[in-house]
Structure formats: structure tokens, C-alpha cells
Amino acid sequence: MIDISIARGPLLFCLLMPAVASAATLTVGPGKTHATPSAAAAAARDGDVIEISAGVYRDEAIWKANRLTIRGVGAERARLDAAGLTLANRKAIWVIQGSGTTVENIEFSGASVPDKNGAGIRQEGAGLTVRNCYFHDNQNGVLAGDKADSDILIESSWFARNGAGDGQSHNMYINRVRSFTLRFSYSQGARVGHLVKSRAYRTSILYNRLTSEEGNPSYEIEFPNGGRVEVVGNLIQQGTTAENSTLVSFGAEGTTNPEQALSIINNTFVNDRTAGGTFVRIVGSPTARIINNLFIGVGTRISGTATQTSNLDTDKSGFVNPASFDYHLKAGSPAINAGTDPGTDGTQSLAPQFQYVHPLGGEPRQRLDGAWEVGAFEYGTLPSP
């Protein structure tokens, strides 16, 4: 008998070749093939690359093709400025309906619609990667709808001052998707909403700076329906004017996601809110592990039930420059060598592999003396100049 799985391989390859070969690079900007991103969106076909020259575009677009790579090219990000525009789609500067989309090196600002959900990107397809983008002064930065087969990655991106001021719109709001990963990114000063909100079945918040600063956000991070969640290697700061007293909230709207597990490992938490608050609030009964975290400022460390190991309450004296949000450890810090091996989640190590480098970067986290530090930064490493 012929092994059909082998015999059909070359045939499939031949059938796929025309689709691959037809992928094109579409250029956008003054003197380019397309004057605006929306013109390129109308012409794009599956697998195309869209290159948008640096400059300001007063434009909106709906991207329908699959497997697109849409990137700004030039010395600066391409800027999509919607301030004062009436968005005809009533959703976002870019509505992405295709699947498997990558967006790189684009700035989105000024998105506003009557229902207060105007976003830089509204994701409706399955699968999105956002890299080196800047979202500011929108009602939502990124808003992703329910899509059970969707995986979303945001990395090396900056979110600032998003939110309509109603507490229902956020720097980023990811609804019920298969997985959401945020890494090497900077989210600051949301307008009443959250710095990060995720209803994803699995969420990984890895090596970021999530700081309220002078803004008035609600939660710094919220997982309203729980899920399988890991929060590793982040600087998480609540400012003096924060609207909500809790920094990280898990399960506040009901633990309805299929799995319920929470791992909070090697983070540096800072509460500058004079009235204090709660660093981590856990609702329900997830498998919760809180390991190797620094807690700085006034507040209750944990509300809810969790296994706690090698965490440390401290003040700001043991850090390089807290006024500039530099929470690298100084010599003599009680966090040095005070941690423990955080173990695994199944077969996956929970130990931090990297640490955040501001702005929008990361570097391998190396245990220089073989011991475990507490907090988001290893002693003996300094921020890049």
C-alpha cells in the first residue's frame, strides 16, 4: 500500500508554490506605490509585506488578508495620527480581520469613537504579533476580541495615556484568546483604565516595566477571569494618584477560564500610593505561587490564598535610583542572595531567563554568583547607558 502521507507531500508543495510566489512587497508613502496604508490594505493579498515610510498618516484601514507583515521603515516609526478624525469603521485606526498578522515599527495615536472603545489596533482575526510599536492617547491601545484559536504576542512596545477615562478602556485589553504574551515592553499612565488587562486562557507577562507614574490608572494588571497566568521579572509600580488600591488582580469577575493557576515570580512591586493598598488580590482557589518578589511601600502583600516563598518587604534604600525607576540592587541590599529556585510549572521552568532593559529591551539574566536574587533585577547588572 502506498503511504499517502508521503506521496502527497510533493503534490502539496507544488500546489502551495503559486501562493508563496505571489506574495509581494507593497510600499506606502510619498512617491511610493500607495499613498496611504488604507490603499495598501485594499490591495494586499495573503502573505504580502507592507512597508510604510516614516511620516505622519491621517488615515484608517481595515486589513483583511492573512499572514501580512506590516512595518514602518525609515529612521523613525511611521505615525498613524487619528486625533480629531471621525473613524468611519467606528472601531480603530487599524481593524485587523486577517489571521497571522505582524505589525512592526508603527505609532498609533488619537483613536476615539462614540462608544469610547476606539483603539490603535482592533484585532478580530486569529494571531497577532506587535513589535516595536507605540500606542498613546487612544481610548484603547490594543483591543483584541474573543477568538479561541488566537495567540497574541506584544513585545518591545510602548503604551502611554490610553483610556477614555471611564475605567472600561485600557492601555491594552485582550479578551478571550488562547494565549497572550507581553514581554520587554513599557506600559505607563493609563487614563483610569488598566496598564494591562487580559481575559486570555493563558497569559504570560514577562520582563516589562509597568508603571503608573503620574497617571491615574486602575489596576496595573488585571486577569478578571483568571486563567493560567505567569507574571515573571517585571517592575510593577502604583503611583500616588492611582484610582484603585490593588496592583495585580486575579479572578475579580469570576474564575471562568478553563484552567486556574497563578505564578508570580521575581517581580519588583512598588506602591507609592500613600493610602496603601493590596499588592496581589486573588479571588477563587487557583494554584497560586508567589516566589522571590520584592514588595516596596505600604500595603497588604497578598489577599487570598497562595504559597509564598522567599518574598521580601523592604524600603527604597537598597536600589540604585528609585526616583528614576531604576530598581537595580545596590551593594548591601537585603534582596541579594535571598531568593530560592522557583521550580517548574509542569515541565516549564519558572526561573526568570531575562530581565527588562529600559526602554523596550531585555538581556539574559545571569546569576553571577550562582545564588538567587529577589526581585526583577540581578545584582551586578546595571541599566544600559
Same domain assignment for residues 183 and 304: no
Same domain, 224 and 186: no
State the number of CA atoms in the 13 A half-sphere of 6 facing the CB: 3
Instruction: Using the 3D structure, point to which of 135, 169, 200 is the last residue of a domain.
Output: 200
Residue 67 belongs to a domain: yes
Same domain membership, residue 181 and residue 234: no
Contact 367, 286 (CB under 8 A): no
Tell whether 14 is covered by a domain.
no
**Exposed (0-12), middle (13-18) or buried (19+): which is 85, by Cβ within 10 Å?**
middle
Q: Are 256 and 139 in the same domain? A: no
Is 323 domain-assigned? yes
Q: Please, what's the b/e burial string for 315-326 (b: 16 or more CB within 10 A of its CB; e: otherwise)?
A: eeebbeebeebe
Question: Do 282 and 223 reside in the same domain of the chain?
Answer: yes
pLDDT in tens, 18-45: 545 579 999 999 999 999 999 999 999 9
Average pLDDT over residues 311-328: 98
Kindly indicate the confidence band of residue 183, based on its pLDDT and cuts at 50, 70 and 90.
very high
pLDDT (average), residues 87-102: 99
Q: With 0-12 CB in 10 A as exposed, 13-18 as middle and 19+ as buried, what is 364?
A: exposed
Residue 330 counted as domain residue: yes
Q: Are residues 195 and 298 in the same domain?
A: no
Cα–Cα distance, 149 to 264 (Å, whole number): 26
User: How buried is 65 (Cβ within 10 angstroms: 0-12 exposed, 13-18 middle, 19+ buried)?
Assistant: buried
Contacts of 346 (CB under 8 A, 6+ apart): none
Whether 229 and 282 map to the same domain: the answer is yes
* Count of structural domains, the chain: 2
Task: Please check whether residue 25 is in contact with residue 51, taking contact to mean a CB–CB distance below 8 angstroms.
Answer: yes
Residue type at position 368: L
Are 43 and 170 within one domain?
yes
Closest CA to 74 of 102, 55, 98: 55
**What is the model's pLDDT at position 21?**
52
Structural domain includes residue 316: yes
Q: Cα–Cα distance between 382 and 327 in angstroms, integer? A: 10
Confidence of residue 1 (pLDDT cuts 50, 70, 90): very low
Query: In angstroms, what is the C-alpha Rg of the chain?
Result: 22
Residues 208-244: pLDDT tens digits?
999 999 889 999 999 999 999 999 999 999 999 999 9
**In which band, very low, low, confident or very high, does the pLDDT at 82 lie, cut at 50, 70 and 90?**
very high
pLDDT at site 369: 83
> Three cell numbers at 264?
508570580
348 in a domain, yes or no?
yes
CB 210 within 8 A of CB 195: yes
Question: Does any domain span residue 276?
Answer: yes
State which of 200, 229, 245 marks the end of a domain: 200
Residues 170 and 243 in one domain: no
* DSSP result, 207-263: S-EEE-TTSB-S-SEEETT--EEEEES-EEEE-TT-SSSEEEEESTT---SS--EEE
Cα separation, 199 vs 193, in Å, equals 15
What CATH number is associated with residue 191?
Answer: 2.160.20.10
Residue 348 and residue 248 share a domain: yes
- Angle 336-339-343 from CA coordinates, rounded to 5°: 150
Residue with cell 469603521: 89
Same domain, 353 and 229: yes
| Residue 36 structural domain | 24-200
With respect to residue 9, please indicate whether it lies within any of the assigned structural domains: no
Distance CA 217, CA 211 (A): 10
Choosing from 146, 172, 200, the residue where a domain stops is 200
CA-based nearest residue to 212, from 234, 183, 241: 241
Residue 81 CB burial class (10 angstroms; 0-12, 13-18, ≥19):
middle
Q: What is the mean pLDDT of residues 75-89?
A: 98
Mean of pLDDT values over 319-332 = 98
**Same structural domain for residues 247 and 346?**
yes
Q: Whole-number mean pLDDT of the chain?
A: 94
